[in-house]
Structure 1
């Protein structure tokens, strides 16, 4: 067991990703940080798996994974006081070309797994009131990204439900939309287009989102709950 408060962050598979930046920031804040990744997903994506990252392998498409994950984290580290949902399934496709299998997998990972993780967190949370934190990363990108965007919309509603239903436990629940963040997946034309659409004149960086998550997980974030927060430099 550890003496510092424990934060569980899902989806930390790449050092350049938002999840990794959040993990680094929370460690600097004094949290014991436990992370998960799913290397098979990264191998399917153009960037490939980052073998320099460390974390528990967790296939969140399996509905039994959240309970097993919390069993392991609780046994090795103690009570989880912050749950940060940074995982996702994200494969571009639109209304006409999305397959049923892809649609179902997106909802299994992005919505169902998030609900099950939140449920495990709340069931095991012993208090004290006002300390528990849930933060989920969301997105409003849905055009030609249908299953991703639709499942993130479902995630938003799950988080809002958690804010109301878990309030008696003193747990806050918020969703953060970081907008387009440059983690190496953009080509130059897309980077230029998105930067031009951002009033602050640059793309988001992982540390931008990490700073907001740090605030929400800290003592000063205890009065914010049930919010969908845009941390995107005014991107429209």
Structure 2
């Protein structure tokens, strides 16, 4: 049976970072795995999340985190694709990138435009942009995390949903905001808490079923 192939391309919130443990949520607790379970046998959901990944920026401190640079390899690995789900932008808010919220949205536009150009699609390219979780101001009460993110991260993250919705319109992509369905864990105020995994998976499942309902 040919299944509908979905790639979830993101950062630590796609990888499944658990604020309570500092490690990864268990396989049956991550939203990506819950999404697979809920969609069922007719779908194949690929986890392509890397902690620290950006849209288009090269991290001067850590290698391999530029989402644009690794996009073609990741998508070719799982081709042919029916849907690409992109949830990036949180790490771009780090002070060391000196990016405005609009810069981040423009980087996302570059990434999804390239994704649609790649010869990896089962049919017409279909990309779902998901606005990432907004960073809670209390992130700066956690010195390790607040210092890593730097000044301005909260403010930039709060501008992203509206800017990314416009990016989706401009690039012919679908759009979803994760924020109505998720809450940050209290250990760092920027990663999905445990209860958010299931809520987000359910909301995303409903969106995906609508988007792919006409594909055989």
The Cα offsets for residues 36-63 of structure 1, whole Å up to 9 and x where unpaired, read as 213xx5xxxxxxxxxxxxxxxx565318
Structure 1 residues not aligned, in runs of 5+:
42-57, 92-99, 188-202, 223-236
Structure 2 residues not aligned, in runs of 5+:
18-23, 60-64, 141-150
**Match for residue 116 of structure 2?**
122
Asked if 2 retains the 8 angstrom alpha-carbon contact of 1:135 and 1:175, the reply is: yes
Shift of 1:70: 1.9
**Match for residue 137 of structure 1?**
132
Instruction: Please give the root-mean-square deviation of Cα atoms over the aligned residues, in Å.
Output: 4.2
Shift of 1:13: 4.8
Q: TM-score, normalised by structure 2?
A: 0.58
The Cα offsets for residues 201-225 of structure 1, whole Å up to 9 and x where unpaired, read as xx95321122112222222688xxx
Asked if 2 retains the 8 angstrom alpha-carbon contact of 1:122 and 1:166, the reply is: no
| SS of residue matched to 1:31 | strand
Seen in structure 2, the aligned counterparts of structure 1 residues 179 and 122 have a Cα distance that, compared at 3 Å, is: same
Asked if 1 retains the 8 angstrom alpha-carbon contact of 2:135 and 2:154, the reply is: yes
Larger Rg: 1
Higher relative contact order (CA 8 A, sep 6+): 2
Asked if 2 retains the 8 angstrom alpha-carbon contact of 1:138 and 1:178, the reply is: no
| SS of residue matched to 2:134 | coil
Seen in structure 2, the aligned counterparts of structure 1 residues 59 and 106 have a Cα distance that, compared at 3 Å, is: same
Count of residues paired in the alignment: 175
The Cα offsets for residues 144-172 of structure 1, whole Å up to 9 and x where unpaired, read as 766233222342233222332234xxx31
Q: TM-score, normalised by structure 1?
A: 0.54
